[in-house]
A and B are shown apart, each in its own frame.
Chain A
Amino acid sequence: MTKTTETTGYNDRLEQKLAKIFAGGQQKYHDKMKESNKLFVRDRLKLLFDDENYAEDGRFANVEADDLPADGVVTAIGKVNGETVCVMANDSTVKAGSWGSRTVEKIIRIQETAEKMQVPMLYLVDSAGARITDQLDMFPNRRGAGKIFHNQVRMSGMVPQVCLLFGPSAAGGAYIPAFCDIVIMVDGNASMYLGSPRMAEKVIGEKVTLEEMGGARMHCTVSGVGDVLVATEEEAISEARRYLTNFPANFAMKPEKIEAKAAKAGRSLEAIIPENQNAPFDMYELIDQLVDEGSFFDIKKLFAGELITGIARIDGQVVGILANQPKVKGGVLFGDSADKGAKFINLCDAFSIPLLFLADVPGFMIGTKVERAGIIRHGAKFIAAMSSATVPKISVIVRKAYGAGLYAMAGPAFEPDVCIALPTAQIAVMGPEAAVNAVYSNKIEAIEDPKERLQYVQQKHQEYKEEIDIYRLASELIVDEIVAPHQLRSVLSQRLSFYETKDLPLPYRKHPIYPV
Chain B
Amino acid sequence: MKELKASMAGTVLNVLAAEGQAITPGQAVLTIESMKMEIPVEAEFGGTVEKIHVEIGGFVNEGDLLITVGE
Chain A residues in the interface with B (C-beta under 8 A):
278-280, 326-327, 329-332, 334, 362-363, 365-370, 431, 433-434
Given the complex of chains A and B, what is the CA–CA distance between A370 and B34 in angstroms? 14
Given the complex of chains A and B, what is the CA–CA distance between A365 and B9 in angstroms? 9
Contact A326-B62, Cβ < 8 Å, known A332-B8, A365-B8, A369-B9: no
Given the complex of chains A and B, what is the CA–CA distance between A62 and B45 in angstroms? 52
B7 within 8 A of A: yes
Q: For B35, B38, B61, which residue has the most chain A Cβ atoms within 10 angstroms?
A: B35
Contact A363-B39, Cβ < 8 Å, known A329-B7, A332-B8, A369-B61: no
Q: Which residue of B lies closest to A373 (CB)?
A: B62
Q: Which residue of A lies closest to B39 (CB)?
A: A330
Interface pair A326/B61, CB less than 8 Å apart: no
Interface pair B35/A332, CB less than 8 Å apart: yes
Interface pair B61/A332, CB less than 8 Å apart: no
Contacts of A280 in B (CB 8 A): 37-40
Contact A367-B37, Cβ < 8 Å, known A329-B8, A332-B8: no
Interface pair A362/B36, CB less than 8 Å apart: yes
Main secondary structure of the interface of A (DSSP, over half): loop
Contacts of B62 in A (CB 8 A): 367, 369-370
Contacts of A367 in B (CB 8 A): 9, 61-62
Q: Which residue of B lies closest to A333 (CB)?
A: B35
8 tightest A-B contacts by CB? A330-B37, A362-B35, A367-B9, A369-B62, A330-B39, A431-B36, A332-B35, A329-B8
Min CB gap B50→A, angstroms? 24
| 8 Å CB contact of A366 from B7, B35, B40 | B35
Interface pair B9/A332, CB less than 8 Å apart: no
Q: For B9, B38, B39, which residue has the most chain A Cβ atoms within 10 angstroms?
A: B39
Q: For A329, A366, A431, A433, which residue has the most chain B Cβ atoms within 10 angstroms?
A: A329
Given the complex of chains A and B, what is the CA–CA distance between A332 and B16 in angstroms? 23
Interface pair A278/B36, CB less than 8 Å apart: yes
Contacts of A332 in B (CB 8 A): 8, 34-35, 37
Interface pair A326/B37, CB less than 8 Å apart: yes
Given the complex of chains A and B, what is the CA–CA distance between A64 and B37 in angstroms? 67
Within 8 A of A (CB), among B5-38: 7-9, 34-38
**Complex A-B: 8 CB contacts under 8 Å:** A280-B39, A330-B38, A332-B8, A365-B9, A367-B62, A369-B61, A369-B62, A434-B36
Contacts of A433 in B (CB 8 A): 36
Contacts of A278 in B (CB 8 A): 36-38
Min CB gap B70→A, angstroms? 23
Contacts of A369 in B (CB 8 A): 9, 61-63
Q: Which residue of A lies closest to B8 (CB)?
A: A329
Contacts of B34 in A (CB 8 A): 329-330, 332
Q: Which residue of A lies closest to B36 (CB)?
A: A431
Q: Given contact pairs A332-B34, A332-B35, A370-B9, enumerate 14 new A-B contacts (beta carbons under 8 Å).
A: A278-B38, A329-B8, A329-B39, A330-B34, A330-B38, A331-B37, A332-B8, A332-B37, A334-B8, A366-B35, A368-B61, A369-B62, A433-B36, A434-B36
Q: For A365, A370, A433, which residue has the most chain B Cβ atoms within 10 angstroms?
A: A365
Min CB gap B26→A, angstroms? 12
Q: For A326, A363, A367, A433, which residue has the most chain B Cβ atoms within 10 angstroms?
A: A367
Contacts of A326 in B (CB 8 A): 37
Min CB gap B32→A, angstroms? 9
